[in-house]
Structure 1
């Protein structure tokens, strides 16, 4: 058996796994793919992938270094039960935490926190701006994540046109990035990246090649840092027309894109046969 020399870093939400509202099952109900629930929240099913995708994941884990790479907090990530053995490594909080066999690498986290303190405005300043400018008419929740970044849950239909752009223009000079994903608006320090964590895991595992997938602007750095990448036909990157020479834009959207991404990972990084 050849050693696993390919590292696969993939975003989760709206890339590999999908809520009911993000499935995009547009065909006849009788022809819809069978789905597997991989996350339960407050006693209710929350996230899914197709059964065909579920069958591919254990093989991907066996043939590559598969690294779930998410903006989710550690607590939110641990709700997900992907098929196959648990990955040895995972990236949480957009790179703020590396999990090794499910446990956080505190040395990595301290190094990230020190860099953020040097290069970005304080979280408290950004949170104050969010609360001062958000309208209760469309703001549903306000949260901070791992003391690293902030996000809002909003009523998307009532969100004023241009509000996110104005926030991004304010945040940019302060070293922060803004991303709108579904009903969530993220404000994240620019040095807090999945790509930095991916490079560290590649160094530790000796991976010779990196593959990545993602759908949002927060995944752009991950895609750019990988040797090859894919983005689905939905999401911020697709909506903005974002592209890079080594990143393939898939025509599939919704849960079908998640299945196709796994097939592409295996073709590019798995063992033949």
Structure 2
């Protein structure tokens, strides 16, 4: 849209003193109202909320704590792609141990990390190499210099070992197949007694959560949109970026107002 028509933005994440993530002011208002439908986190007993807003992210708990969403801190948050279930800001130890046991079904993290290191050792397109909480590994890359076949070759190597490869912006993730957002979201639904789940996501690592939900949305940008991924109960939006975020929050707000689900 023309610059003069662009919406005003609210910064919701700062990293190393710089603004990193944004949402429109309209989306911020609607999200605060939607989250508020659950009641005050410190006053509403679990299981008595009208609805429960659950951030679900591949960020580690430390990275997630940089995000300041409107409406106050949610009671539950899914971090590290399901490796951590935060309850009132703290990682649930029983859930984390449950996840650790499930990871035994996949190839060891050390093996995958070593493959990432050796296969990209000569690449001047690798900016950073990271291991997240001993759960998965990722690279920060220069997308313009990233070889076009490298991601597909890595994914083909990882799949028989039970790992998923996902390229999101400048980050290339290698994640165990048993480490899923859907499992952690299902645990929140069990604890709260939720009868319906609506989800939104834009990456391959969100696909399992979207498929497990009763309904959902994918924006017009990102890995899922670019690959042509579709599911009958998931709405593919034309909007991109913060406009997509506003549309999704608006539809979630309408659902919460109409059904409390």
Class of the TM-score when normalised by the shorter of the 2 chains: over 0.9
Q: Please state how far the C-alpha of 1:272 moved relative to its aligned partner.
A: 6.8
Alignment counterpart, residue 133 of structure 1, candidates 106, 109, 119: 119
* Aligned mates of 2:100, 2:129 — CA distance in 1: 22
* Aligned mates of 2:214, 2:203 — CA distance in 1: 18
Number of aligned positions between the proteins? 246
- The list of structure 1 runs, each at least 4 consecutive aligned residues, that deviate by more than 4 angstroms after superposition, is none
Structure 2 gaps, min length 5 = 38-50
Structure 1 gaps, min length 5 = 1-26
RCO greater where, 1 or 2, for CA within 8 Å and sep 6 or more? 1
Residue 142 (structure 2) pairs with residue 168 (structure 1): no
Q: RMSD over aligned Cα, in angstroms?
A: 1.2
State the TM-score, normalizing by the size of structure 2: 0.92
Q: Please state how far the C-alpha of 1:85 moved relative to its aligned partner.
A: 2.0
- The equivalences for 1:1-273 within 5 A come to 27-63=1-37, 64-117=51-104, 119-134=105-120, 135-271=122-258
| Matched position secondary structure for 2:144 | helix
| Matched position secondary structure for 2:54 | strand
State the TM-score, normalizing by the size of structure 1: 0.88
* Aligned mates of 2:259, 2:181 — CA distance in 1: 29
Which deviations, in whole Å up to 9, do the C-alpha atoms of 1:112-134 show, x marking residues without a partner?
001102x1000000000000011
* Aligned mates of 1:52, 1:245 — CA distance in 2: 28
Check 1:272–1:110 CA distance in 2 against 1; reply closer, same or farther (3 A cut).
closer
Which deviations, in whole Å up to 9, do the C-alpha atoms of 1:211-257 show, x marking residues without a partner?
00000000000000000010001111101110011000011011100
Aligned partners of 2:36 and 2:71 also within 8 Å: no
